[in-house]
Amino acid sequence: MANDLIVPDILLYLLDMVGVIACAIAGTLLAQHKGLDISGCILVSMVNAIGGGTLRDMALDRHPLFWMTDINYLIVITVTSLILQMFFHLYHKIDNALKLFDAIGLAAFSVIGFQVAMAQDMSPVIAIMMGVWTAVIGGLLRDIICNEIPLVLQREIYITASIAGSVTYLFLQYLGFPAGINESIMLLVIFAVRMLALRFDWHLPSIRLVD
């Protein structure tokens, strides 16, 4: 029984680190592209990687904050940013690389935020919201710092992808599928929806009243 409880925690932790690395890469890529210095790139990567999770934990009254009790988050972000800064010249297609790692971070953090809320017995609506917050707030702050119009505000299939993944999880849970399978499928759905939206240029419509 003990092993059954430990394994999911380990998998979620590894998934969290995947999201942290992906978002640290995305943050550093944009910061380098904007000409920020070493410390500026690290700062942007940290905001991108832990900003959403920080707001989530504050909203759910989870203290101390996750990155204050586990220094590995800050170490992984810093090392990832420094390595990428040294090899930045290898990333010739900044937009494609940024969007790829953004999609990975979106999927990973949506699952983490959703699961954290569900573990605290929050309603499905709040769990979905926490998944969205964890996934998008960091990127929103990153873009604002770098003087970019945030991706999530550009009619992008971004928040919608996170919601689609969460709804898929809840549906599979209703059908009786185990949590591990639900998480994996949720992750794939979010990543696939985001990448398909980029590939086929899907956008949400804007609502305009007729004059």
* Residues 54-73: tens digit of each pLDDT: 999 999 999 899 999 999 99
| 141 domain-assigned | yes
Does the pLDDT value for residue 8 go beyond 80? Answer: no
| The total number of structural domains that make up the chain | 1
| 1 domain-assigned | no
| 206 domain-assigned | no
pLDDT (average), residues 163-175: 97
| 92 domain-assigned | yes
> What pLDDT score was predicted for residue 202?
86
Does the pLDDT value for residue 146 go beyond 50? Answer: yes
> What pLDDT score was predicted for residue 4?
40
Residue 170 sits in which domain range? 11-200
Contacts of 21 (CB under 8 A, 6+ apart): 49, 76, 80
β-strand partners of 156: 203
| 53 domain-assigned | yes
Angle, CA of 47, 154 and 200, to the nearest 5°: 110
| 208 domain-assigned | no
Region for residue 22 given its phi and psi (left: phi exceeds 0; alpha: psi -120 to 50; beta: otherwise): alpha
Give the percent of the chain with pLDDT over 90.
64
pLDDT (average), residues 18-23: 90
Does the pLDDT value for residue 76 go beyond 90? Answer: yes
| 40 domain-assigned | yes
Closest CA to 137 of 198, 24, 47: 47
| 207 domain-assigned | no
Angle, CA of 122, 143 and 125, to the nearest 5°: 15
> What pLDDT score was predicted for residue 101?
81
